Amino acid sequence: MIVVMKAHATEAEIQNIVRMVEELEYRAHIIRGVERTVVACVGEERGGHQLGHLESVAGVERVMPVLQPYKLASREVRPEGSRIRAGGVEIGGKRITVIAGPCAVESADQIGLAAEAVRRAGAHMLRGGAFKPRTSPYSFQGMEDEGLKLLEAAGRKVGLPVVTEIMDPHDIELVAEHCDMLQVGARNAQNFSLLRRLGKVRKPILLKRGMATRLEEFLMAAEYILSEGNPDVVLCERGIRTFETATRNTLDLNAVPLLKAQSHLPVIVDPSHGTGIWSLVTPMALAAVAAGADGLLIEVHPSPEQALSDGPQQLRPATFVDLMARLKPLAEAVGRTL
């Protein structure tokens, strides 16, 4: 259930509702929108009828049920959509947010060159994996702690906030110390103990869709983070497993308008993992923005042929410059900026 407060409800009235909701043994989440505040009541639905009585309390406009199983991620609690800040960069506003960088941090030179290239081309955030979730235990696993420091330094040098993947709950503090945003990879999209722990972190979370995760399950994964108190979650469509083998994954662009309709959370698209083929990245990036994505995650490497992971899908800096040039008029055509 959600308690929609009147547009001019006072702070005392909001706090009074929170207290009454908690007395009914629900958890109260205050969601402050542009127009009005909503108090989302989460917990077992047993006493739902009692919440209905709150409609007569001062400052309350109405009490309504949230029909979806994801209560805090549902668009109903924030119809205007969420804007999330990651190291000073806004995701979910009018501007399309472009996050770019190599699959993995490989050396100081490599991440430094990548950072400069993506910054010059107009990216807003730098990415790079320090802990890599590889299919084989014999493949390069990332530079770990050293990689985190190199990523942070490279981002700072060019003035871009950084995002990297978190795999192990034990590393959360370390990663949060060095990065502006923490990424949950496709393979951990339903690692509920990791998601719960990230709900306690004071940094935004970039949550990737699992390769076999239905959209409702994806939103329930986001709900795990939100329900623990972290309101800053960005959803990322990165392709799913289908019968098709011509591409690494099938980029599900249906997900974009559907997630935007069902949830207030920003939605970005990763056409690099979504296709696995560098020449498909630009067309699918354009298609993602046309479909309503709030941003893009693009793998860019100074020399993809030497990459230690995901070489075939990483863009050269010059190709990324071309992508950004093509993106600008497309973004404007759909009422966005770059």
- Site residues (CB under 5 A) for Mn ion? 103, 310
CA distance 141 to 131: 6
Tell me which of ligand PEP, Mn ion, none is bound by residue 75, counting a contact when its beta carbon lies within the kind-specific cut-off of 5 to 8 angstroms. none
Q: DSSP for 54-93? A: GGGSTTEEEEE---SS-SSSBGGG-TT---EEETTEEESS
Give the binding range for ligand PEP (CB under 6 A) out of 29-37, 179-187, 192-200, 261-269: 179-187
Contacts of ligand PEP in 282-321 (CB under 6 A): none
123: its two tokens:
């990216």
SS3 105: coil
Q: Which of 103, 175, 259, 285 binds ligand PEP (CB under 6 A)?
A: 103
Q: How far is the CB of 64 from ligand PEP (least distance, A)?
A: 35
CA distance 301 to 103: 8
**Residue 29 within binding range of ligand PEP, rule CB under 6 A:** no
Q: How far is the CB of 254 from ligand PEP (least distance, A)?
A: 18
Length of the chain: 338
Alpha-helical runs (H) found in the chain:
11-23, 48-52, 108-121, 144-158, 172-178, 192-198, 215-227, 255-262, 271-275, 278-290, 317-333
Q: Which of 284, 289, 291 is nearest to 299 (CA)?
A: 284
Q: Kindly list the distances between the CA atom of residue 326 and the CA atoms of 93, 120, 145, 273, 285, in Å, as whole numbers in the listed order.
A: 20, 15, 36, 20, 10
Q: How far is the CB of 213 from ligand PEP (least distance, A)?
A: 11
191-210 mask for ligand PEP (x: CB under 6 A)?
A: -----------------x--
Q: How far is the CB of 284 from ligand PEP (least distance, A)?
A: 14
257-276 mask for ligand PEP (x: CB under 6 A)?
A: ----------------x---
Give the binding range for ligand PEP (CB under 6 A) out of 184-192, 257-265, 285-293, 318-326: 184-192
134-173 mask for ligand PEP (x: CB under 6 A)?
A: -------------------------------x--------
**Residue 248 within binding range of ligand PEP, rule CB under 6 A:** no
Tell me which of Mn ion, ligand PEP, none is bound by residue 83, counting a contact when its beta carbon lies within the kind-specific cut-off of 5 to 8 angstroms. none
- φ, ψ dihedrals at 297, nearest 5°: -120, 115
Nearer to ligand PEP, 29 or 273 (CB): 273
- Is the Cβ–Cβ distance between 272 and 313 less than 8 Å? yes
Residue nearest to ligand PEP (CB): 185
**Residue 129 within binding range of ligand PEP, rule CB under 6 A:** yes
Residues near ligand PEP (CB under 6 A), total: 10
Nearer to ligand PEP, 68 or 190 (CB): 190
**Residue 186 within binding range of ligand PEP, rule CB under 6 A:** yes
Q: Which of 96, 111, 110, 154 is nearest to 324 (CA)?
A: 96
Rg (CA), the chain: 21
**Chain positions contacting ligand PEP, by CB under 6 A:** 103, 129, 133, 165, 185-187, 208, 238, 273
